Amino acid sequence: MSLTATRPLVSVYSEKNESTGTTVALPAVFKAPIRPDVVNFVHMNISKNSRQPYAVNKDAGHQTSAESWGTGRAVARIPRVRGGGTHRSGQGAFGNMCRGGRMFAPTKTWRRWHRKVNINQKRYAMVSAIAATGVPALVMSKGHMVQDVPEIPLVVSDKIQEYNKTKQAFIFLHRIKAWNDIQKVYKSRRFRAGKGKMRNRRRIQRRGPLIIYGKDQGLTKAFRNIPGVDLINVSRLNLLKLAPGGHVGRFVIWTQSAFQQLDALYGAWRKKSTLKKGYNLPMPKMANTDLSRLLKADEIKKVVKPPNKTVERRVRKLNPLVNSRAMLKLNPFAAVMKRKAILTAQKTQYVKQLEAEKGKPSPQLTYKARMLRIRAAQIKKAMAAKPKKAKKPKTDKPKEAPAPKKAAPAAKAPAKAAAKKPKTDKPKEAPAPKKAAP
């Protein structure tokens, strides 16, 4: 129960659902922290302690004489039954894939069936389950019909401990408006799904109220035949009944003596338990669960840092081959190239359109030829835009008199003959004698 929902006193009602005028102090255990995770963990582990060991016969599947035929017989190497004269001979044996063989990994009785749970953990789970029984929202979320119940936790006088007839219990449950929860149990009766139907647990039903008493004076006989109702002594509380299925929030009816004994059982934060040696209630992590009130408190605002309102967003990594803005950041000239490609495509399309109108098939130029044409057009355009050099003005120079013509040359043949010198007969030199070979 949260501290904001607790109240210091709880009213005690009579067996006729009338206020007796007496009130009892709310035990400190109802202010303990509610930890569904601890309750679920402890419930799962302690519920394993009631399991009964089971296993198959250690000799099952091996009560035959069989031996493998070995290799070279064109059959599997599984052991085969000996002998002849029957269909059984030659059949595979022992293996888990064989008819009449053992199972794979036969179950053993020495499996780790039970679980040890720390005593402090078990106590923590118990106080959490008790605290949850005092929160109406949790009780209703569990499915209990408690809309007309006068108060939660519901405390009644000890006179019901003297009941020994089911008729008395029936009248009592009607008077305190708890019979709606019993009717829910009647309507929920159904057959179990699965093989449990063969194992003496054919039907299942929902849970009804739990009655916690201080002293049994015939009470258990009166209530035991009403479906869904469980009874338990306050000195022997069981988590499996207070939080069935590991879920907190069961509807509990307390007798006055049992309710007053909780402080002695579990104590408080400053006062130790008198029945459990050296035990104190666990401290909650938050004394007040009203988080919005805590965040707006001036005392807390003074010492905490101001909120950081700057938002730092991660920069998205864009693919420049797909995203044009990313490409322009890397290569500004990409815009010019893209525009040029668009214009070229438009021009090509226009040329094709014109040729289609004329009825001429457009020539399929290769990429190299197209690029050469584009380059030639660019050069031509650049040359046309290039400014021409200015010519120097011509100056009128006085014309010179023509040179006198040279006389015609004489006959060349005689002149050449005259020019030739007469040859003189020189004596030829004798050749040098060759050296003899050594």
Helices of type H across 276-363: 291-295, 298-303, 324-330, 334-358
What is the rounded distance in angstroms from the CA atom of residue 16 to the CA atom of residue 9? 21
What contacts 217, CB < 8 A, 6 or more positions away?
Answer: 161, 162, 164
pTM of the model: 0.66
- Nearest 5°: phi and psi at 253? -110, 120
Q: Which two tokens stand for residue 276?
A: 């459990």
Are the C-beta atoms of 288 and 296 separated by less than 8 Å? Answer: no
What single-letter amino acid sits at 259? F
Are the C-beta atoms of 29 and 131 separated by less than 8 Å? Answer: yes
Q: What is the pLDDT along the chain (438 residues), one digit of tens a residue?
A: 555 457 789 999 999 988 888 999 999 999 999 999 999 999 999 999 999 999 999 999 999 999 999 999 999 999 999 999 999 999 999 999 999 999 999 999 999 999 999 999 999 999 999 999 999 999 999 999 999 999 999 999 999 999 999 999 999 999 999 999 999 999 999 999 999 999 999 999 999 999 999 999 999 999 999 999 999 999 999 999 999 999 999 999 999 999 999 999 999 988 899 999 989 999 888 777 788 888 889 998 899 888 888 988 888 899 999 999 999 999 999 999 999 999 999 999 998 888 888 876 555 666 777 888 888 898 888 888 877 666 666 666 666 666 666 655 555 544 444 445 555 555 555 555 555 554
Chain center to CA of 343: 52
Are the C-beta atoms of 241 and 231 separated by less than 8 Å? Answer: no
What is the rounded distance in angstroms from the CA atom of residue 396 to the CA atom of residue 25? 136
What is the rounded distance in angstroms from the CA atom of residue 59 to the CA atom of residue 141? 51
What is the rounded distance in angstroms from the CA atom of residue 372 to the CA atom of residue 382? 15
Return the ∠ at Cα 356 (arms to 355 and 362), rounded to 5°: 55
**What is the DSSP annotation of 195-221?**
GGGGTT--EE-----EEEESS-SSHHH
pLDDT of residue 403: 64
Q: Which two tokens stand for residue 10?
A: 């709880």
Are the C-beta atoms of 50 and 195 separated by less than 8 Å? Answer: no
